[in-house]
Amino acid sequence: MVISASPFSRRPPWYRGGLRAAVGATVCCGLLLSGPARTTAVAVPAGHPEAHAQAHHEVRGRGTLVSAEKLYTLATAQAVAAELRSAGFEDDTVRHGVVAYRLVYRTVDPHGKPTTASGLFVLPLDSKRQARHMRPLHAVSFAHGTGSHKDDAPSMQRGAFVSAPVIAHASAGAAGVAPDYLGMGEGPGPHPWMDVGSETTASLDMLRAARAFAPRTGHVLERKVMVTGFSQGASAALGLSRSLQAGEDRWFELGGLAPVSGAYDFGGTELPALLDGRLEAKSGVVYAAYTLVAFNRLHHVYDSPSEVFRAPYDSTVEALFDGTHTGEELMRGTPGALDALLTEHGRTLLAHPSGPMAAALRTTDAVCTDWAPRAPVRLYMATGDEQAVTANTERCQEALRTSGVEAPVVDLGAVDHQGSRHLGSNVAATSAIVRWFGELRRR
């Protein structure tokens, strides 16, 4: 959850193929748009276990690569450092230049029907590597926070909040893999926000697409996957980790898990905090609106917007979450207080969920419960988080402990990014997680 994180604006005139610069950046400088990636295919040896894994997932269709487009190259560590600093991130873990691609791949929608999605795939550059030998890389899967516009996704932005963590992991020597999620980036339809099931399938299938594409660049992805995610993406990271541990892919295995500032107990902790004023007021309004609209699309929790939204918002709010409206438009199009947005029934639906709403929240709230990660886990959070209250992290830690897993909580302190501790937690956690994942890979 991070509505205010991304630089929201409509696609500018220079937009080509979905890539746009961050607000405040000079659009002409350092931004080289290219056509589809022209890479030399490197065949995976027939006896390599990767070949069997690729064949397995391609038969099923999910994760099959549809297209790959080279977005940009940051040829030196200095260029990467400048890129990260422009997004407000630290550059202390940078060791390599990187090359970034947008992958479009086959996956399934929340109902299991075929669809497509996109994501960002970033690889480290290594001038010492012999071109004829494939280089094995660990993958780091990063799940991003909430956005309202289709462009608020890793493969659609550069030098930005949603893409910086992926670049940071790649520049430290890993393969950075980041799904845009369904309905974001180049994916069709609306985004099913906080739907952990489709976040999980989109994340897993993005890993498969990355594995299929990697040999064309002279790389193969190793089995162990390090998984992280911020805010909305923290729940997505837990969903992906659970599926990896359950063996839902025959190649990839969970190697480490580091979610950041998640709303893990969305119905039991986050919604009550939203309603009683513990969240920053405008954030509470936006998340209340997004919750009702997104959950209604999948679970039919109301018949008419006027049941849950007061006039005039009952006729306008749903359209704000169609993927074509920017964060600025979303902020302007919603009131400053919940009482101006919600009807009595709308508030009751969030305060005392019943029927389809309650059923949906039971699934959303289960990301930390009833399973025991066998890989190392750390939970990252910021003191005084104004958007994802820290009690969410406490509940997750308690649930994992009940399953016999000790998951240390890393309190990042009162960190700040653009006036937000929530956003600051993503910035502060990125370097820490890069270092920790590096330690795990060396074990």
With pLDDT > 90 as the criterion, what percentage of the chain qualifies?
83
What does the alpha-carbon distance between residue 20 and residue 146 come to, in Å, rounded to a whole number? 18
Q: Identify the CA nearest to 169 among candidates 218, 100, 105.
A: 100
With pLDDT > 70 as the criterion, what percentage of the chain qualifies?
85
Q: Identify the CA nearest to 268 among candidates 385, 394, 154.
A: 394
Q: What integer is the mean pLDDT of 212-224?
A: 96
Q: Band the pLDDT of 277: cuts 50, 70, 90.
A: very high
Q: What integer is the mean pLDDT of 134-146?
A: 95
Indicate if the pLDDT at residue 137 is higher than 80.
yes
φ/ψ bin of 359: left (φ > 0), alpha (ψ from -120 to 50), beta (otherwise): alpha
Q: What are phi and psi of 69, to 5 degrees?
A: -125, 125
For 362-389, the pLDDT digits (tens) are 999 999 999 999 999 999 999 999 999 9
Indicate if the pLDDT at residue 37 is higher than 90.
no
Q: What is the pLDDT of residue 60?
A: 59
H-type alpha helices, 77-193: 77-86, 164-171
Q: Identify the CA nearest to 261 among candidates 360, 401, 144, 93.
A: 144
Structural domains of the chain sorted by starting position, each given as residue range(s) with its CATH number in brackets: 49-265+371-442 (3.40.50.1820), 266-364 (1.10.260.160)
Q: What is the pLDDT of residue 312?
A: 98
Q: Identify the CA nearest to 205 among candidates 58, 68, 307, 402.
A: 58
H helix or E strand, kind and range, residue 107: strand 98-108
Q: What integer is the mean pLDDT of 129-135?
A: 63
Q: What is the pLDDT of residue 196?
A: 97
What does the alpha-carbon distance between residue 91 and residue 190 come to, in Å, rounded to a whole number? 35
Is there a contact between 357 and 230 (Cβ–Cβ < 8 Å)?
no
The separation between the first and the last C-alpha atoms of the chain, rounded to the nearest angstrom, is 33
Is there a contact between 97 and 75 (Cβ–Cβ < 8 Å)?
yes
Q: What is the pLDDT of residue 126?
A: 81
Q: What is the pLDDT of residue 159?
A: 87
H-type alpha helices, 61-95: 77-86
Q: Band the pLDDT of 442: cuts 50, 70, 90.
A: confident
> Across the strands, what pairs with 230?
260
What does the alpha-carbon distance between residue 303 and residue 300 come to, in Å, rounded to a whole number? 7
Q: What integer is the mean pLDDT of 144-148?
A: 95
Q: Band the pLDDT of 47: cuts 50, 70, 90.
A: very low
Distances (CA, A) of 300 to 296, 297, 305: 4, 6, 11
Indicate if the pLDDT at residue 411 is higher than 80.
yes
Number of helices (H), then strands (E), belonging to the chain: the values are 15, 11
Look at the pTM and tell me if it is higher than 0.75: yes
Q: What is the pLDDT of residue 9?
A: 32
Cα three-residue angle 155-159-161, rounded to 5 degrees: 75
Is there a contact between 323 and 183 (Cβ–Cβ < 8 Å)?
yes
State the chain's mean pLDDT as an integer: 87
> Across the strands, what pairs with 309?
342
Indicate if the pLDDT at residue 134 is higher than 80.
no
For 221, the token pair is: 């992805």
Q: What is the pLDDT of residue 127?
A: 57
Q: What is the pLDDT of residue 443?
A: 80
Higher-pLDDT residue of 23, 309: 309
Q: What integer is the mean pLDDT of 193-213?
A: 98
Q: What integer is the mean pLDDT of 294-309?
A: 97
Cβ burial of 155 (10 Å; 0-12, 13-18, 19+) is buried
Indicate if the pLDDT at residue 202 is higher than 80.
yes
Indicate if the pLDDT at residue 27 is higher than 60.
no
Indicate if the pLDDT at residue 25 is higher than 50.
no
